[in-house]
Chain A
Amino acid sequence: MIEFLIILPVIIPFFTGAILIATMKSREISRTISLASAFLLLVSSLVLFAVVWISGIKVLYVGSWKAPFGISFIADVFSVSMLIMTAVMLITVTIYSFSSIDSGREKYGFWVFLQFMIMGVCGSFLTGDIFNLFVWFEVMLMSSFVLIALGNEKFQLEGAIKYVTINVISSVLFLSAVGILYGMTGSLNMADLAGKIKLVGNNYLINIAALFFLTSFGIKAAIFPLFFWLPASYPTPPIPVTAIFSALLTKVGVYALIRVFTLVFTTDVSFTHGIILALAGLTMVTGVLGAAAQFEFRRILAFHIVSQIGYLLLGLGLFTINGLSATVFFFFHIMLAKTNLFFISGIVNRIYGTYDLNKLGGIYKNHPFISIMFMISAGSLAGIPPFPGFWAKLFVIKAAFESHYYFLGAVAIIVSILTLYSMLKIWNEAFWKKNEYHYAKQEKLTHRFGWYAPVIVISVLMLLLSVFPEHIYLVAQKASEQIINSAEYIKIVIGK
């Protein structure tokens, strides 16, 4: 029964996607099924979370093949809390799409590929087998390729070519890394690899494999210097697609990095994690500086995705319980804040017909409610108390200081101030400035429920996160304890 619960987050989107192919021509039915399945995913993840929280890590051996031989699915606190976040993001994006996706995209499989992408994401979170991880990545990427190109607009296709090329190259690197790792150890199960890699003895070979993985996942996570494709492609598709990409895809990359660099490549921590720390600092700085130069709503946000990835990496590079707890907490905050900001940019575009900050203005006067929603998310992204971003950044910076990385902690603080500058730029230009460009259209928002409901839901979740950070931090701490105590994880998976 418990085994069945573990596989449910993969099965639900799979069957929903299959059913949606049959109902593709009917918008109403597709929408109802999509939303129902998103809620089902949330319920099943919550039940799985309760089980894992009470009784520890759970393993499913696919086809009853025991651990090193077959594929195993592993549910621990980290992976299941990521599943819950995925379900929440899926629900909000589904509701947002009701009013913002055009009927053409709906008829040509938007809902189908959204579900298949979620299947890939959930599979990547759950699997304990490195080659199976590659397969889930491909499931996720293939669907995301379709989602980014769906609609055939000129910008979209340009963005799609870059996105597809860089991701195929990243997959090739991933595959080569798996090959090298298998050649060294003769195993693919991550828990088994953790033990076998210590027997290899040749640290240079291990480090080469580790760098292959770092480059491959680094491209997917958009870390410095491999992030350039992200601002070029993410802002091109419609907002719901951009929002779900920014909420999940780069985060799956970071998740894979965390899994591989806490479980498998721990033989030469000063080298591998030293590189990760340096990259974390550079990612934060370049992302935020890139955003400072932009004057387009979505592109500023896209550069901030890069910058925030740096904070997530910083916690991994520290490789301490507090560092990883901070990273897990940061995951919760950044998924909510980023998605919400993209949603708001979509609403602004719907009303004023542009994303250009130069042409926007006076939103605060005309739409105070949406301005307040923006302030909550932007404040959170910049790390202003009392918003959840403040706690997330506080935990990261505190963990950096505890490990005596004072310089990196200082960089994190400075980047935070620069983030505030970027957010204030959007605020001043789009929300406060008098709208001098009268040619910018102003349309009345129809279907207000579909536009506002997801924004309100996420804002409420963020306020909850800022009022009860200690409860969420408890979850993050438990997740990071399970990650760091990999011996326990290996014992449960391998069974000895």
Chain B
Amino acid sequence: MYLLLSILIGVLFTTGIYMVLRRSIVKLVIGLALLTHAANLLIFVAGRVNTPIPPIIGKGEDSLIPPFADPIPQALILTAIVISFGLTAFAIVLIKRTYKQTGTEDLDDLNTTDKIDKL
């Protein structure tokens, strides 16, 4: 299970970075979305995937008895998913505006701010 998930995370990171390095701005956004997924899964694995038993203190006990599932990583991932959702939505609007304004979807053409004598 760990091995499978680890490989999946690796694949998501590589495809994400590959897409970010493409010249099309649409692929850039897809790459960013893949990267955030990879990070979310990484938290999931780092928080251990061992048992489906919920962390609830039973009757007559005064503390948790292992094994129990750790709820924190899931809370973290939920927060991170919402944030990446917002980021992706913003990025999509941004690339649409950029395309309308500059008329190109090639990242290599968006280099005027790097030129010394421009601006």
Contact = CB atoms under 8 A, between A and B. Distances in A.
Contacts of A178: 43, 76
A153 B80 CA distance: 31
A162 B102 CA distance: 15
Contacts of A165: 20, 28, 32
Contacts, number: 122
Interface string B71-90: 01100100110010011001
A66 to B, nearest CB: 16
A182 B43 contact: yes
B119 to A, nearest CB: 6
B25 A161 contact: yes
B67 interface: no
Q: Chain B: interface residue count, which band?
A: 35 or more
A161 B110 contact: yes
Give the secondary structure class of B's interface: helix
A157 B28 contact: no
B119 A135 contact: no
Given A135-B79, A182-B43, A157 B97 contact: yes
Nearest to B75: A131
Nearest to B111: A158
Interface in A200-238: 232-233, 235-236
A443 B55 CA distance: 69
Contacts of A175: 36, 39-40, 42-43, 80
A165 B95 CA distance: 11
A291 B32 CA distance: 31
Nearest to A235: B119
Nearest to A132: B79
Given A154-B102, A157-B102, A355-B119, A168 B113 contact: no
Interface stretch (A6-14, A92-100, A116-124, A293-301): A293-301
B47 A179 contact: yes
Contacts of A162: 110, 113
B50 interface: no
B8 interface: no
Give the secondary structure class of A's interface: helix
Contacts of A155: 112-113, 119
A161 B23 CA distance: 13
Contacts of A3: none
A158 B113 contact: yes
A169 interface: yes
Contacts of A236: 113, 119
A149 interface: yes
B119 A183 contact: no
Interface in A99-153: 131, 134-135, 138, 142, 145-146, 149, 152-153
Contacts of B38: 172, 176
A307 B79 CA distance: 35
Contact of A169 (B20, B45, B48, B73): B20
A180 interface: yes
A233 B113 contact: yes
Contacts of B72: 182, 188
B98 interface: yes
Nearest to A179: B43
30 contacts: A131-B76, A142-B90, A149-B94, A152-B97, A154-B101, A155-B113, A157-B97, A157-B98, A157-B102, A158-B111, A158-B112, A159-B113, A161-B28, A161-B94, A162-B113, A168-B36, A169-B35, A175-B80, A176-B42, A176-B43, A178-B76, A179-B39, A179-B73, A180-B42, A182-B43, A182-B47, A182-B73, A182-B76, A183-B47, A293-B116
Interface of B: 20, 25, 28, 32, 35-36, 38-40, 42-43, 45-48, 70, 72-73, 76, 79-80, 83, 86-87, 90-91, 94-95, 97-98, 101-102, 107, 110-114, 116-117, 119
Given A172-B38, A293-B116, 7 more contacts: A162-B110, A171-B83, A172-B39, A178-B43, A180-B46, A188-B72, A355-B119
Interface of A: 131, 134-135, 138, 142, 145-146, 149, 152-155, 157-162, 164-165, 168-169, 171-173, 175-176, 178-180, 182-183, 186, 188, 232-233, 235-236, 293-296, 298-299, 355
